[in-house]
Amino acid sequence: MNVRVLILVLAFAAAWSYVQAQDPPPAEESSLSTRYSLAVIDDATFYNGMPPSQPAILNQVLVEPTFDIRYRNRYTFSTSVIGLSTTYTDTASTLRVKETYAGLSAGDFDFTLGRKMVRWGTGYAFTAAGVLDPPRDPTNPTDRLNVNQGRDMIKADYVKGPHAFTLAWSSAALAPARSTMRDTTAFRYNVLVRGFDTSFIAGNDRGGDSFGGITFTRVLGQAWELHGEAVWREQAAALIGAKCTLHSGVTFIGEFYTPPNTSFFRDMSVSPLAGRQHYVFFNSGKTRLRQLPGWKEWDVSGSIVANLDDHSRVGIFDVSRWFGNHFSSYVHLEIPTGSKSSDFGVAPYDTATSAGVRFHL
């Protein structure tokens, strides 16, 4: 772990505790409201079974300040940047703009300009219809380091009763150099139909084919949720999944996903000649293990992701613990298996164990 960052985190914690101890100033009515937050993460990943020529430890330090301002519930501005320092074969530091956008609300319309995170897909580990979503990583669907970036876009939303319309144009001008993103125009219509939260999506990538799809989410009783996506984008891609939450708080998630082997959907480790792929994802987890001191601060989960075509898979285990309101620590373990030419077996390590500490303000 980076000792300097830990010292910095402790200093922030002490300062925040002092501020919290002071008497709050009297509230004043104002049409202007602001919010801010700060997250600092020190993450170390230990690789077992790496080739001798490759380092066995990857250390990452992330600092993410966020600031939001709202004026008269009509004008908004939000920004979130990530400072990332990585030490592996060498040390490199980068600054990423996660989100920076301005918004205007006018009656039933909302307009957004800038870089923003959107989520149109319904899947947890995969997505076929998330045409503007950040990429899903099935071994890390919650984005544990919070490094995903939004898309640069102009977006207009119109909501009238149960109907919601969204029109967006996203530019790839500021996308990373090796990114496959293109300028995208997309339209989404969302409506609740007989208990199904349904969305119809259509659009076009500049220089590419048009696409269209449908998503749905359906809650059944107190425990079950069904979700699915179907998209035609050169070829058909589909996802079906379910989530079950027991009275004890234990949650189970399962998904089946089948994308075509095209340039848009293909995973980098899959051969262009491999044909259509079929994946499954299973997850079980629980937050607040027991409602007892010393137990309710713990969260645990376990997952498995498998490629049914090449019989490769990866097991994932996560455990985290809170210390007060601002500190938490975690362990993330990945164990890939399969042939060296398979989707998940191509990983150059036998296991990858990440341990880290977070500070939230």
Domain for residue 23, yes or no? no
- Contact partners, residue 138, CB within 8 Å, separation at least 6: 125, 126, 279, 281, 305
How many domains would you assign to the chain?
1
Position 134 in a domain: yes
Q: What is the pLDDT of residue 22?
A: 45
Q: For residue 18, what pLDDT is reported?
A: 40
* Residue 10 scores a pLDDT above 80: no
| CA 126 vs CA 17, 239, 240, 280, 300: distances in Å | 40, 8, 10, 10, 21
Q: What range does the domain containing 259 cover?
A: 3-18+32-360
Tell me, yes or no, whether 26 lies in a domain. no
pLDDT of 58 strictly over 90: yes
Give me the mean pLDDT over the 43-55 stretch: 93
pLDDT at 26 over 70: no
Do the domain assignments include residue 43? yes
Q: Which of 73-77, 84-88, 291-295, 307-311 has the lowest mean pLDDT?
A: 291-295
Average pLDDT, the chain: 89
Kindly tell me if the per-residue pLDDT of 135 is higher than 90.
no
pLDDT tops 80 at residue 5: no
Question: Residue 207 falls within a domain, yes or no?
Answer: yes
Select from 126, 58, 155 the least CA-distant residue to 281.
126
pLDDT (0 to 100) of residue 173: 84
* Domain assignment present for 27: no
Of residues 175 and 137, more confidently modeled: 137
Does 65 reside within a domain?
yes
Residue 126 CB: number of other CB atoms within 10 A? 25
Mean pLDDT, range 254-282, rounded to an integer:
89
Q: What are phi and psi of 293, to 5 degrees?
A: -55, 135
Note whether residue 24 is domain-resident: no
- Which of 193, 192, 24, 181 shows the shortest CA–CA distance to 115? 181
Q: What is the pLDDT of residue 1?
A: 43
pLDDT, tens digit, for every residue of 291-314?
A: 888 888 999 999 999 999 999 999
Which distant-in-sequence residues (6+ apart) come within 8 Å of 31 by Cβ? 71, 72
Question: What's residue 177's pLDDT?
Answer: 66
| For residue 25, pLDDT beyond 60 | no
pLDDT at 175: 76
pLDDT score at 30: 61
| CATH number of the domain to which 111 belongs | 2.40.160.100
> pTM of the full predicted structure?
0.85
